[in-house]
Homo-oligomer: A and B are copies of this chain.
Amino acid sequence: MMAEVLAKRVVEKMYSHDVFSQWLGIERLEVKPGYCSLRMKIRKEMLNGFSIAHGGITYSFADSALAFASNSHGRKSVSVETSISHIHPLKEGDVIMAVAEEISCSDKIGIYTITITNQDNKKVALFKGTVYRTSKEWEI
């Protein structure tokens, strides 16, 4: 199977079982090997005590991007360490986009950065994630 087709099928399968990503309302814009871009809208139930999006919402969005991008090669990959810098607060109605970039992908370890921007193309968060690439393949 071509790498591009495999990437799309793996992410389709992951997303179809990923109840929390569905609750978040994550849309897939583009999926390629080692890459994905996603979109999401901030809803009222995502806000914290400061009336801005809970830090966990932005993290969850980025973490889904990490999962999709790192599994897209067809090998089951699990997050081992992630970090996020919260740069700009998000309000209800904001629409955010995540772009995952593969920094490095060796046999066992993959490293990704995910940049999150809002509807004005302003950076709202920067996420870095390290995954362990298991030896199990996705059955597609």
Spell out A's residues near B (CB within 8 Å): 13-21, 23, 44-51, 54-57, 59-61, 63-64, 67, 78-88, 103-104, 108-109, 111, 113, 123, 126, 128, 130, 132
Contact = CB atoms under 8 A, between A and B. Distances in A.
Among A21, A79, A111, chain B packs the most CB atoms within 10 A around the CB of A111
Given A59-B60, A60-B57, A81-B81, A49 B87 contact: no
A54 B20 contact: yes
10 contacts: A17-B48, A18-B54, A49-B67, A55-B60, A56-B60, A56-B63, A80-B81, A80-B86, A85-B111, A113-B113
Contacts of A51: 17
